[in-house]
């Protein structure tokens, strides 16, 4: 055994190999057991690498001459020396270390594996016992994610600024976002030495009373409190009043500019939570190969950006670095950075937000963000266009974004297109010139010309929506709906902000379905068929009937399975196959075609499982596997013995032929072979035991076409059947590993034609036919009618389902110049050519969990393309703009002469 005690108390100094073995064992033992509330510690990567070099010297060839590694601690023999004491000084601000309310403050924008590593507290204690030093920088594990089941280390707890009113004192504190409002209230009272009964705390967002924080059990995270937010601590005087004259929820004109920020302090702006390190047996060797990252501090430029920098009108960048400012990534913010860069480099927006746009802010629009989103975006745009700027982190804009769109809060990766959609809509409402939206009822076309109806719809739209966003980005399309029954035609003209184009180049899809035989003639089998992508349920049933060699007197009964039960019967032959997702599970049952007036026995399998939280370790019956289905006639008399025979028949193909090896006869198993443990759910939801009274008649519930029948599989009964056929029902379509497949390139014109093609509505979007007086699954046809100055095109690379998103790597050949949409515009009164030129796009690289966004942008005056990769900006050739990573395209209209050339 290796002595794991501190070197000061042990009889000998451990060898490097022994130290590495102990630390590796300690870390590997601790991390799988990690839970909320556990402690992890930061260690400077600079010190950690020295220790790694020391403990792996025999494995990495540290004694070889000509090594390119750091030689600061090498002896004459080039052998790494044992490191000195642990030194975390490069991670912290010394000036803040004595602040009792803040504790030891970390430097801004520290990055895990670049500046520090995280180790379990047990690992830190072991290292500290050998080397000493510090300081100890311990952080707690918290739950995160939508389901609160993911774990992360809260490296940067919330930093809040407390404002005591009416006294005017201020204090900054650190507190976990998982702490409650009650804990914050208590801390505030302790800091300012106040009686808790005379104190109220307010969400003091933007130095206005936003909301009274009186739900003491709610967490700060649930209350949407963000990093660097202000909290008002309101002390009430003895008379029960408050001497605070802060305006509550009002927007006086001189306070509503939003351009005067809260007073700056000398403490740093900290980054977001860091993810819990993943368990990796090769972590020690991998850490040696991590390259150092050069970070640029936000603090150097923070003072320069407290107020808007006066700039001249226009977007010229010639002869200056205007428009070439990067944005720091401070925690999975590349999705936001790429979208922002495309918007701020839209010339119309750059010009608008660098002028005085405050007079157009709609402070009272209930659909807007009381002007704060527009002000934050305008301020951000001005900073990015200011000449001579170094990269900075858009933290204030991110905080505003999270404030009004909680789906973008935190530091997870998000969809850049979804952010763009929110920004365009939010900026429009904040800048809507219409202060009071009139109610306007749309009129039917009544045979009027399309041009007249379209102009009327557009005028009604502008009467309620008039902003720079509408001026630049909104167009209009013609939507035609046709009732499949009465052929009633309905035409509307609707606005659009962007076009989302499908990328599926194929017209078919493959679907896997497990087929069961009810008569006991065959074991279950999974078949994969090819059906039209826009097909109907009847197409799938026909393909299954052919694939499983259906007899003339049989038909296929198709269902969707969820949670080991039948979720829905897929009986409607006209149901669109688009309603069946790739991660659905389908079963098909071969049943007699001639049976009339039938109900279906749904045989649900259950097995014993240990009940969670039961101290006595008893078991309960839990559903598993795939239910079996058997049709029974409602007109026939069915006994309990008949149902026993039916179930025996259905299970017979899975009956083991070889005898079960037992030393003695099993009387219980022999008894079960005759009477299966079946329980039928009657009309009163009571379970009837069918293993007794086989001659008794069964009365089925009249309210449902499905009759629930449970079979409880004991361990002994499971030995008699091969029940693996019932388990692991495959998905309709299973995406394989991230395998690069060769796909044919698509033209952007082809994608546009697929978007405009007539297709049936999905069931969720059924249309109410005024002639039939019923909801119908109508067919829908779109046509472009009015095109905007800036056309935003979203390439739908992500296929959504309930449990996953799948990315399409298809290369789309999109025009950079002369994107001609003239023939796609249905408005023939517009004789001018509709030609566009690409000036910006976002790219998405990688897969779903570890993707990265960048932006390609053309500076118009320079006639040159640049790659905006967060803080890094580099010039690129126009030939490099096209790739299969292109995600959102930005086109500007090109003016043509009277001859259309």
Give CA–CA dist 868/875, Å, rounded: 9
Q: Is 852 part of the annotated catalytic residue set?
A: yes
Q: Which helix (H) or strand (E) element contains residue 106?
A: strand 105-106
170-175 and 158-165 strand pairing: antiparallel
Kind and range of the H or E element at 382?
Answer: helix 372-385
SS3 assignment, position 413: coil
Taking the C-alpha atoms of residue 96 and residue 107, their distance in angstroms, rounded to an integer, is 10
CB 570 within 8 A of CB 539: no
- CA angle centred on 663, ends 659 and 664, rounded to 5°: 90
Helix 347-354 and helix 334-344, axial crossing angle in degrees, nearest 10: 80
Q: Strand 116-120: give its sheet, edge to edge.
A: 116-120, 39-44, 137-144, 150-153, 274-275
Query: Pick the catalytic residue: 113, 648, 806, 852?
Result: 852
Pairwise CA distance, residues 835 & 901, whole Å? 10
Closest CA to 605 of 627, 583, 578: 627
Which residue is listed with tokens 């007197």?
553
Distance CA 355, CA 364 (A): 22
Per-residue CA distances from 302 to 40, 109, 263, 373, 374 (Å):
31, 14, 12, 20, 21
d(CA 409, CA 399): 8
DSSP-derived secondary structure letter, 751: H
- d(C-alpha 233, C-alpha 205), whole Å: 13
Sorted by sequence, the CB contacts under 8 Å of residue 512 that are 6+ apart come out as 526, 527, 528, 586, 730, 731, 732, 733, 734
Gap between the Cα atoms of 511 and 417, Å rounded: 29
Q: Can you read off the two tokens belonging to residue 709?
A: 């029948």
Question: What burial letters (b/e) apply to 514-532, b meaning 16+ CB within 10 Å?
Answer: bbbbbeeeeebeeeebebe
The runs of H, that is alpha helices, within 509-635 are 537-547
CA dihedral for 670, 671, 673, 677, sign (positive or negative):
negative
Residue 431 burial (CB < 10 Å; 0-12/13-18/19+)? buried
Residue among 726, 783, 842, 692 nearest 339 (CA): 842
Instruction: Give the span between the Cα atoms of 41 and 27, in whole angstroms.
Output: 12
CB 650 within 8 A of CB 630: yes
Q: What is the dihedral of CA 340, 341, 343, 345, to 10 degrees?
A: 160
Judge whether 473 counts as a catalytic residue: no
Do 376 and 397 meet the contact criterion of CB atoms below 8 Å apart? yes
Q: How far apart are CA 806 and CA 739, in angstroms?
A: 12
Phi, psi at 126, each rounded to 5°: -65, -45
Burial class (CB in 10 A: 0-12, 13-18, 19+), 649: middle
SS3 content of the chain, % helix, strand, coil (to 5): 25, 30, 45
Q: Cis ω on the peptide bond leading into residue 436 (within 30° of 0)?
A: no
Q: Which of 144, 189, 334, 751 is catalytic?
A: 334
One DSSP character per residue, 343-365 reads HHTSHHHHHHHHS--GGG--TT-
> Catalytic positions, please?
334, 852
């Amino acid at each position: 055994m290796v002595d794991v005690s501190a070197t000061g108390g042990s009889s000998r100094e451990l060898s490097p190999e022994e130290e590495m073995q102990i630390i590796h064992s300690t870390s590997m033992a601790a991390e799988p057991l990690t839970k909320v509330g556990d402690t992890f510690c930061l260690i400077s990567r600079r010190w950690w690498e020295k220790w790694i070099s020391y403990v792996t010297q025999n494995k990495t060839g540290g004694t070889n001459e000509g090594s390119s590694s750091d030689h600061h601690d090498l002896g004459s023999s080039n052998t790494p020396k044992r490191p000195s004491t642990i030194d975390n000084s490069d991670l912290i601000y010394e000036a803040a270390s004595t602040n009792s309310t803040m504790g030891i403050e970390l430097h801004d924008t520290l990055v895990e594996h670049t500046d520090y590593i995280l180790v379990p507290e047990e690992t830190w204690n072991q290292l500290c016992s050998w080397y000493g030093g510090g300081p100890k920088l311990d952080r707690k594990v918290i739950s995160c994610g939508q389901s609160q089941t993911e774990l992360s280390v809260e490296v940067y707890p919330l930093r809040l600024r407390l404002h005591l009113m009416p006294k005017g004192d201020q204090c900054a504190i650190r507190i976990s976002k998982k702490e409650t409002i009650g804990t914050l209230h208590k801390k505030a009272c302790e800091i300012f030495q106040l009686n808790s009964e005379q104190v109220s705390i307010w969400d003091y967002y933007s130095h206005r009373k936003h909301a009274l924080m009186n739900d003491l059990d709610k967490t700060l995270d649930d209350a949407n409190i963000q990093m660097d937010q202000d909290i008002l601590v309101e002390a009430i005087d003895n008379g029960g009043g408050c001497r605070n004259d802060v305006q509550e929820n009002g927007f006086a004109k001189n306070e509503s500019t939003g351009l005067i920020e809260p007073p700056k302090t000398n403490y740093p702006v900290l980054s977001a939570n860091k993810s819990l390190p993943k368990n990796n047996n090769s972590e020690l060797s991998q850490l040696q190969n991590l390259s150092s990252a050069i970070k640029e501090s936000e603090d150097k430029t923070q003072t320069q950006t407290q107020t808007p920098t006066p700039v001249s009108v226009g977007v010229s960048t010639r002869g200056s670095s205007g428009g070439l400012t990067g944005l720091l990534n401070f925690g999975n913010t590349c999705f936001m950075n790429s979208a922002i860069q495309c918007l701020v480099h839209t010339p119309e927006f750059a010009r608008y937000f660098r002028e005085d746009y405050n007079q157009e802010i709609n402070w009272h629009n209930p659909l807007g963000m009381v002007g704060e989103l527009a002000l934050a975006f305008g301020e951000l745009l001005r900073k990015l266009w200011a000449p001579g700027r170094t990269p900075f982190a858009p933290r204030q804009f991110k905080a505003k974004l999270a404030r009004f769109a909680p789906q973008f809060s935190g530091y997870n990766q998000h969809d850049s297109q979804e952010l763009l959609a929110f920004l365009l809509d939010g900026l429009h409402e904040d800048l809507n010139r219409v202060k009071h939206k009139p109610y306007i009822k749309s009129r039917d076309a009544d045979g009027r010309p399309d041009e007249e109806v379209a102009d009327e719809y557009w005028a009604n739209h502008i009467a309620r929506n008039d902003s720079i966003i509408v001026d630049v980005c909104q167009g209009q399309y013609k939507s035609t709906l046709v009732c499949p029954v009465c052929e009633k035609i309905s035409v509307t003209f609707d606005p659009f902000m962007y076009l989302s184009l499908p990328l599926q180049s194929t017209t078919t899809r493959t679907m896997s379905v497990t087929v069961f035989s009810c008569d006991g003639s065959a074991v279950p089998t999974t078949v994969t068929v090819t059906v039209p992508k826009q097909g109907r349920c009847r197409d799938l049933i026909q393909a299954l009937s052919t694939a499983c060699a259906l007899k003339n007197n049989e038909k296929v009964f198709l269902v969707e399975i969820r949670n080991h039960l039948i979720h829905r019967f897929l009986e409607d032959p006209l149901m669109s196959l688009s309603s069946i997702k790739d991660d659905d599970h389908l079963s098909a049952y071969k049943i007699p075609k001639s049976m009339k007036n039938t109900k279906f026995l749904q045989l649900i399998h259950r097995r014993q499982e240990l009940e969670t939280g039961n101290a006595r370790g008893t078991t309960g019956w839990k559903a598993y596997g795939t239910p079996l289905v058997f049709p029974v006639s409602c007109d026939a008399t069915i006994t309990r013995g008949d149902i026993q025979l039916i179930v025996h028949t259905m299970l017979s193909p899975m009956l083991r032929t070889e005898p079960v090896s037992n030393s003695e006869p099993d009387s219980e198993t022999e008894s079960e072979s005759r009477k299966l443990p079946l329980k039928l759910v009657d009309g009163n939801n009571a379970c009837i035991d069918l293993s007794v009274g086989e001659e008794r008649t069964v009365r089925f519930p009249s309210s449902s076409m499905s009759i629930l029948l449970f079979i409880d599989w004991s361990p002994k009964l499971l030995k008699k059947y091969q029940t693996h056929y019932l388990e692991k029902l495959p998905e309709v379509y299973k995406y394989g590993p991230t395998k690069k497949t060769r796909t044919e390139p698509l033209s952007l014109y082809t994608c546009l034609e697929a978007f405009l093609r007539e297709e049936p509505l999905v069931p969720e979007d059924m249309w109410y036919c005024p002639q039939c007086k019923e909801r119908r699954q109508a067919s829908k046809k779109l046509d472009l009618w009015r095109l905007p100055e800036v056309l935003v095109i979203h390439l739908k690379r992500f296929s959504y389902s309930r449990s996953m998103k799948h990315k399409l790597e298809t290369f789309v050949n999109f025009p950079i110049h002369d994107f001609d949409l003239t023939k796609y515009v249905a408005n023939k009164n517009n004789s001018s050519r509709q030609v566009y030129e690409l000036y910006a796009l976002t790219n998405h690289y990688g897969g779903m969990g570890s993707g990265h966004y960048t932006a390609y942008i053309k500076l118009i005056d320079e006639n040159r393309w640049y790659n905006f990769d967060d803080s890094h900006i580099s010039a690129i050739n126009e030939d490099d703009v096209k790739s299969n990573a292109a995600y959102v395209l930005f086109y500007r209209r090109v003016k043509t002469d009277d001859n259309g050339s």
